[in-house]
Amino acid sequence: MANGLTLHIISFDVPFPPDYGGVIDVFYKLKALHSKGCKIILHCYDYGRGQQNELDKYCQKVYYYKRNMNVVHLLGKLPFIVQSRNSKNLLNNLLQDNYPILFEGLHSCYFLAHEKLRERYKIVRTHNIEHDYYSNLYKSENNILKRLYLKLESQKLKQFESVLKHANYIAAISENDTYHFRRQHQSVFTLSAFHSYNQVNIKSGKGTYALYHGNLAVAENNLAALYLVNEVFSKTNFRFIIAGNKPSAQLSEVVAKHSHIELRSNISTQEINVLIENAHINILPTFQATGIKLKLLSALYSGRYCLVNTPMVANTGLEELCIIKDSAKDMVNEIESLKHIEFNSAELQHRNSILNGKFSTEYNAQLLIDKLLDIK
C-alpha cells in the first residue's frame, strides 16, 4: 500500500472516458494508484468532455477548470497548449496543503516554476518530446494555417521545455524520451504507459484479416493509413480493415477502389478492441518515433502477430515482440508469409515474459509511488 500517500494530479484534459492515448494513461494511473491506497486530488481542464462521476470513485476530490481557448494566446511567448491552461483557481487549490504534485504532460506545467510552489515536491509526467511531436505534425499537415500554428507551437515548446528544471523528477514514458530529458535534468526515470490490461490474453490460431487502427483525424495516422493502402494492402489479396475516427475524404476514396480493403469509421473503443483481438496481424507503422504508442501495447496484450516499422518500436523494449519491416515490399512479403501461420503458445509465453514486467500497470504504479515517497 501507499502508506497514506496523498497527491495532487494535474491533468491536461478530463481523463474519462479513456478513449485516446493521453487520457488512457492518466485514467488507468488514477485507478492503479487508488488501488494501492493513494488519496488523489485531481485537477483537470475541461474543454468539451464535461464532469465525469466515474472519476469520483478513484479521487478524494475532483476539480474542473475551463481551458481558456482565446486565440489571443496564439500570439504570446508561451505555447498555446500551456498558456490556455493557466487557471488561478488551480494555483489557489494547490496552495491549500503541502502534498506532492504530479503534472501530466508539459501542457499542465504553467505553474511548475511558480514561486509559491518552489518548495513543493513536483514530478512531471512527460507523454512525448512535445516539440518533436508538434514538428512531426507540422510535416504531416496540409492546411496552411494549421501548419503555421504547429511550426510556431513546436518552437515555443522547445523553449518552454527548460521549465522542467523546476521538477524534482521527470517521469518519461519511454527509454528514448528518457535519454532526451537526461540531457537537461539529472533525475529522470522511465515510467511506461498505464493501460487497461491486467494480463496478456490472445486468441490462438489464425484470423481472417489484418488491421490498422488509430485516430484518423490525426494527420500522421491518416498518412500511415494512406501509405498502407497504396503501398502495402493493394499489393496483396489478403483482407484488410482500417478502423478509426474521422477518416479523410482522400482515404475513403482510395479504400473504395479495393474490394478486399474495408474502412470502419467512428466506431467505439470496444469495437476496436474486438477487431484487435480477432485480427491475424495488427499492422502499425508510424512516421513519428516519439513516446510510446498505446495502440501498440493494445495490439501486444490482446492481438496476434504485430507487424511494425522501426520508428514504432525503437528503444522501447518491445522490439523482440514485434515483426519489424521498414519497406512496403518487405511488409507485403511478411503478410503473405504470416497469413498461413497460426499464433501459438510459445509466442504467448514470450509476450507474458516481457509485458508482465516493466510494462505492467501494477509495476509502474509501485515505481511512481516509490518516487513520490522519496520526499519522506
Shared domain check, 164 and 88? yes
Shared domain check, 348 and 283? yes
- Residue 236 belongs to domain spanning: 210-355
Shared domain check, 262 and 151? no
H-assigned helices in the chain: 21-35, 80-83, 88-94, 130-140, 144-160, 175-181, 219-227, 249-256, 269-278, 294-302, 310-313, 328-338, 345-355, 361-372
CA angle, 100 then 102 then 103, to 5°: 135
Q: Count structural domains, the chain.
A: 2
* Distance set, CA 119 to CA 88, 116, 376 (Å): 19, 8, 14
pLDDT digits (tens, 9 = 90+) for 304-345: 999 999 999 988 889 999 999 999 999 999 999 999 999 988
Do 264 and 241 meet the contact criterion of CB atoms below 8 Å apart?
A: yes
Shared domain check, 120 and 97? yes
Statement: residue 72 has pLDDT above 90 = no
Q: Is residue 40 part of a domain?
A: yes
Q: How long a stretch of residues is the chain?
A: 376
Shared domain check, 168 and 27? yes
pLDDT digits (tens, 9 = 90+) for 274-305: 999 999 999 999 887 766 678 899 999 999 99
Range of 4-8, 102-106, 195-199, 289-293 with top mean pLDDT: 102-106
How high is the pLDDT of residue 291? 62
Shared domain check, 119 and 14? yes
Shared domain check, 230 and 168? no
Residue at 351: amino acid letter: R
Shared domain check, 215 and 177? no
Q: Is residue 205 part of a domain?
A: no
Shared domain check, 159 and 217? no
Q: What is the mean pLDDT of the chain?
A: 93
Q: What is the mean pLDDT of residues 70-87?
A: 92
Closest CA to 237 of 331, 325, 336: 336
Do 209 and 279 meet the contact criterion of CB atoms below 8 Å apart?
A: yes
Shared domain check, 136 and 234? no
Closest CA to 62 of 40, 37, 95, 92: 40
d(CA 217, CA 336): 30
Statement: residue 182 has pLDDT above 60 = yes
How remote is the C-alpha of 237 from its chain's centroid? Answer: 32
Residue corresponding to grid cell 518500436: 313
Domain holding 153: CATH number?
A: 3.40.50.2000
How high is the pLDDT of residue 375? 63
Shared domain check, 39 and 11? yes
How high is the pLDDT of residue 126? 96
d(CA 89, CA 95): 10
pTM of the model: 0.90
Closest CA to 263 of 301, 299, 209: 209
d(CA 278, CA 260): 17
